[in-house]
């Protein structure tokens, strides 16, 4: 499978950050640029992400590109076909096999662009994202703006209690916070004994 496309290997790009940081917009920007150059594009997202549409990768500002929802990372290999560029949105929700899948595609000459949350709402590294970032040639960390102080935000703070990491379709349940404001909120939640403070695990 090595060096199949035009005699060179591909590479892996990761776009990561908190909610409201423009990850998907950046993914779409890169894909549209490749599309303009007549490169063949395939876009995948985990079937769990049904926030807006089953067929589109949709950013919060509603720009969309057609995408294929898949149940597992392996399905991407089966469906990538002759794509020059493979985009993967919400990569944090894929099983860990997504790392091998991206490596395999890149080894085969494909440019792979993954977008995803780098941290969960508790501030822990999210799913396969740390390993994806480790093997990627290029990592772009984008930031939101902290709603408390206006600084650069890297946390997706959940404003409502609950233990389910996969809580989608409710963006009003989250707010972007910087490190300082996130720590203040977490300290307050622990003092109040809220559900968020009791969550220790990812699930
Ligand atoms: Zn702040």
CA of 116 to the centre of ligand 1 (A): 22
Per-residue confidence at 60, pLDDT binned at 50, 70, 90? low
What integer pLDDT is reported at residue 201 of this predicted model? 42
Q: Does any domain span residue 85?
A: yes
Domain extent at residue 66: 11-142
Residues 158 and 131 in one domain: no
What integer pLDDT is reported at residue 52 of this predicted model? 46
Mean pLDDT value of segment 95-100:
97
- CB neighbour class for 1 (10 Å; exposed up to 12, middle 13-18, buried from 19): exposed
Q: Does any domain span residue 49?
A: yes
Identify any residues that bridge with 56 across adjacent strands, giving them in sequence order: 66
Of residues 54 and 155, more confidently modeled: 155
Residues 166 and 105 in one domain: no
How many whole angstroms separate alpha carbon 114 and alpha carbon 133? 9
Domain of 132, CATH number, reads: 3.40.50.300
Residues 117 and 194 in one domain: no
CA of 187 to the centre of ligand 1 (A): 14
Residues 74 and 117 in one domain: yes
Q: Which residues are catalytic?
A: 90
Selection from 52, 72, 77, 71 nearest residue 62 by Cα? 52
CA of 174 to the centre of ligand 1 (A): 14
Instruction: Count up the domains in the chain and report the number.
Output: 2
What integer pLDDT is reported at residue 53 of this predicted model? 47
What is the torsion angle, in degrees rounded to the nearest 10, for the CA atoms of residue 168, residue 173, residue 177 and residue 181?
Answer: -140
For residue 134, count other CB atoms closer than 10 A to its CB: 10
DSSP letter for each residue of 81-98: TT-SEEEESSGGGS-TTH
Q: Does any domain span residue 109?
A: yes
What's the pTM?
A: 0.85
Per-residue confidence at 200, pLDDT binned at 50, 70, 90? very low
Residues 35 and 77 in one domain: yes
């Amino acid at each position: 499978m090595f060096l199949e496309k035009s005699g060179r290997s591909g590479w892996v790009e990761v776009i990561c950050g908190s909610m409201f940081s423009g990850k998907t917009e950046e993914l779409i920007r890169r894909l549209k640029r490749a599309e303009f150059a007549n490169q063949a594009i395939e876009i995948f997202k985990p079937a769990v992400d049904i926030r807006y549409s089953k067929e589109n990768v949709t950013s919060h500002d509603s720009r969309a590109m057609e995408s294929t929802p898949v149940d597992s990372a392996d399905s991407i290999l089966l469906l990538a076909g002759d794509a020059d560029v493979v985009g993967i949105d919400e990569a944090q929700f894929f099983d860990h096999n997504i790392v091998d899948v991206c490596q395999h595609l890149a080894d085969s000459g494909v440019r792979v662009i993954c977008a995803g949350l780098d941290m969960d709402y508790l501030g822990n590294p999210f799913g396969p994202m740390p390993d994806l970032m480790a093997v990627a040639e290029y990592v772009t960390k984008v930031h939101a703006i902290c709603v408390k102080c206006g600084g650069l935000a890297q946390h997706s703070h959940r404003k409502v209690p609950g233990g389910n990491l996969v809580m989608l379709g409710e963006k009003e349940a989250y707010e972007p916070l910087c490190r300082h404001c996130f720590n203040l909120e977490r300290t307050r939640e622990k003092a109040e004994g809220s559900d968020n403070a009791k969550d220790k695990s990812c699930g």
